Amino acid sequence: MPLIRDGALVEDSWTRVADYAAIPDGPAIVSLARWQAEREVLIGRNGALGLLLASSEAPEAVAGDLERFALICLDFPRFQDGRAFSAARKLRQRFGFKGELRAVGNVLRDQFLFMVRCGFDSFEVADRTVVGQWSRAMSEISVAYQPAADSRATAIEQRSGDRG
């Protein structure tokens, strides 16, 4: 699937591994269930490890292990399910996750800016053509009222000159 990072289409070096499949030598993404079942084995493997969290799985389940993951994928199963937005904010702001945070599933161009504000770095998209719409999506809303995981100054900060 096409991957957007920093507004550009990039090659994805990660392999998503099914729970029953052998784990390759390179960067691999496993499910929470597999992580919980094979934690000690996965810790000892030689290669970057990523985690896929379904929208029904809370980031608290791995809060103590975040340093083990270079990548966490948060699933958007459908447009109406926004739990991954909350999970991203928790991972970045409450738990201090510094690795790559990837939006997967039903990732829509109209939500790019909000995803970035919540802390997402990369986006698996179904259609390559949305890459050309990235810059517009990032600039459509010029004023933010709430602070978020990004560095955008809020309206009150802009008025008072605190940031920006």
Q: What would the pLDDT profile of 83-135 be if each residue is shown by its tens digit?
A: 999 999 999 999 999 999 999 998 887 788 888 888 999 999 888 777 777 66
Strand, helix or coil at 30?
strand
Question: What's the pLDDT band for 6 if we cut at 50, 70, 90?
Answer: confident
Say what the pTM is. 0.84
- Which pLDDT tens digit goes with each residue over 46-91? 899 999 999 999 999 999 999 999 999 999 998 888 899 999 999 9
In the prediction, which pLDDT does 125 show?
A: 87
Q: C-alpha dihedral over 89, 97, 124, 136, to 10 degrees? A: 60
Top pLDDT among 151 and 114 is at 114
Contacts of 59 (CB under 8 A, 6+ apart): 53, 72, 87, 90, 91, 95
Confidence (pLDDT) at 142: 58
Tell whether the model's pLDDT for residue 26 goes beyond 80.
yes
* Higher pLDDT, residue 130 or 20: 20
Given a cut of 60, whether residue 145 has pLDDT beyond it is no
3-160 to CATH, choices 2.60.40, 3.40.390, 3.20.20, 3.30.70:
3.20.20
Q: Do 89 and 149 meet the contact criterion of CB atoms below 8 Å apart?
A: yes
Domain chopping of the chain, boundaries: 3-160
Q: Do residues 87 and 66 touch, judged by C-beta distance below 8 A?
A: no
Contacts of residue 146, Cβ cutoff 8 Å, sequence gap at least 6: 154
Is the pLDDT reported for residue 34 higher than 90?
Answer: yes
pLDDT at residue 13 is higher than 70? yes
CA 134 to chain centre: 16
